[in-house]
Amino acid sequence: MSSVELQTTQPESLEDKPDESQYLLRRFFRNKMAVLGLFVFLFMILIAIFAPLLAPYDHLQTDLSVSLQTPSSAHWFGTDEFGRDILSRILFGARVSLMVGVIAVGISFSLGTTLGLIAGYIGGVWDDVIMRFTDILLAFPSILLAIAIMTGLGRGVGNAMIAIGIVGIPVYARIVRGQVLAVRSQEYVEAAKSIGAGSVRQILRHILPNVVAPLIVQISLGMSTAILEAASLGFLGLGVQPPQAEWGDMIAHGRRFINNAAYMIYFPGIAISLTVLGLNLFGDGLRDILDPRLKK
């Protein structure tokens, strides 16, 4: 065989193959709405981090002489019934909302992923028990279930995180279980099993990496749901307790003055809407680039 023929049969070098990560990044940044959602989310994170530097006033400081002032150059978003600057409280409220979203999703992700791996990989009785447990949780509206859990745990932001985290477990468990059932029968998993790979190695090296993509999407979308539920619990007085700032609690206090100081509910509501919208747009963008069915 000639040298020319040998060169034509050689495989492509790794340098000739497109970089998958760069391809995904290009696809993501072509989605303008997803990029907008990412920037909104990053903006909220920066606000939460630098709230002490950005806030024009102490968010806990009261001054009855300036209570219920409409938005002005001195107080851009106005003041509440205690004379506290609403802009400063919204900035510090971002810390609470994002913290609740991250920790609650962390609880849902860790427990739900573990249960989904057990149900999908082991199966049998474990699968039946875990799936019936998730069915019970899904039988109740999420906010009502969170309220019921907090009835036993008590009020407070820590218990709100736990309640919201428990409510989100079934979603992650079902996603992981479905992915594991589809992956565990693949050839590479069977090959790993045939050469003596243990269950833990099969899960960590061959199964779990292949279920990460839908989990990443669910985490971004789950954070928006957690922030909404945290605001709902705060509105009902079950989350952050006064005088700490939290968007849902600010709306609950502002509703009493809706006729003469409607700005008290408008600005916290806009903050919630922007954060949730940004996370949803970002999550939709991630789903579009990570879903193999949508790749061209």
pLDDT digits (tens, 9 = 90+) for 49-77: 999 999 999 998 888 888 888 999 989 99
pLDDT surpasses 70 at 246: yes
Q: Give the pLDDT score at 107.
A: 95
DSSP assignment letter at 66: G
Residues 3-12 pLDDT 10s: 444 444 444 4
Domain count of the fold of the chain: 1
Q: How far is CA 135 from the centre of its chain?
A: 22
In this structure, the dihedral spanned by the alpha carbons of residues 284, 177, 158 and 91, taken in order and rounded to 10 degrees, is: -10
pLDDT score for 295: 52
Contact by Cβ (8 Å): 75, 69: yes
Residue 260 scores a pLDDT above 80: yes
Q: How confident is the model at residue 291 (pLDDT cuts 50, 70, 90)?
A: low
Whether residue 65 lies inside any domain: the answer is: no
Q: What does the pLDDT look like over 203-238, one tens digit per residue? A: 666 677 777 778 888 898 899 999 999 999 988 888
CA distances to 136, 224, 256, 275, 291 from 281, in Å: 30, 10, 33, 10, 15
Q: If you average pLDDT over residues 141-163, what whole number do you get?
A: 90
Neighbours of 104 (CB within 10 A): 27
Answer yes or no: is 76 within a domain. Answer: no
In a domain, 221, yes or no: yes
Question: Which pLDDT belongs to residue 11?
Answer: 42
Alpha carbon distance 205, 192 (integer Å): 10
Task: State how far the Cα of 283 lies from the Cα of 209, in Å rounded to an integer.
Answer: 19
Q: In Å, how far are 2, 8, 9, 10, 13 from 5, measured between CA atoms?
A: 5, 5, 7, 9, 17
pLDDT level of residue 278 (50, 70, 90 thresholds):
very high
The pair phi, psi for residue 80, each rounded to 5°, is: -95, -170
Domain membership of residue 15 (yes or no) is: no
What confidence score (pLDDT) does residue 294 get? Answer: 52
The answer as to whether 265 is a domain residue is yes
Q: Is 233 part of a structural domain of the chain? A: yes
Q: Is residue 50 part of a domain?
A: no
In this structure, is residue 51 part of a structural domain? no
Which residues contact residue 261 at a Cβ distance below 8 angstroms, ignoring those fewer than 6 apart?
A: 68, 70, 78, 80, 81, 254
Which of these, 139, 137, 118, 143, lies nearest to 128 by C-alpha position?
Answer: 118
- In this predicted structure, which of 11-15, 59-63, 113-117 has the lowest mean pLDDT? 11-15
CATH code, domain with 159: 1.10.3720.10
Mean pLDDT confidence for 66-91: 91
Q: What is the mean pLDDT of residues 12-30?
A: 64
Q: What is the pTM of this model?
A: 0.82
Range of the domain at 283: 23-45+82-294
- Interval 172-208: pLDDT, tens: 999 999 888 887 666 656 665 666 666 666 666 667 7
DSSP assignment string, 215-277: HHHHHHHHHHHHHHHHHHHHHTTSSSPTTS--HHHHHHHHGGGTTT-THHHHHHHHHHHHHHH
The rounded mean pLDDT for the chain is: 83
Q: Among the listed ranges 44-58, 88-102, 178-192, 279-293, which one has the minimum average pLDDT value?
A: 178-192
Number of residues in the chain: 296
Highest averaged pLDDT of the listed ranges 17-31, 143-157, 178-192: 143-157
**Residue 168: Cβ-neighbour burial (10 angstroms; 0-12, 13-18, 19+):** buried
Q: Is 294 helix (H, G, I), strand (E, B) or coil?
A: helix
- At 292 the pLDDT is 53
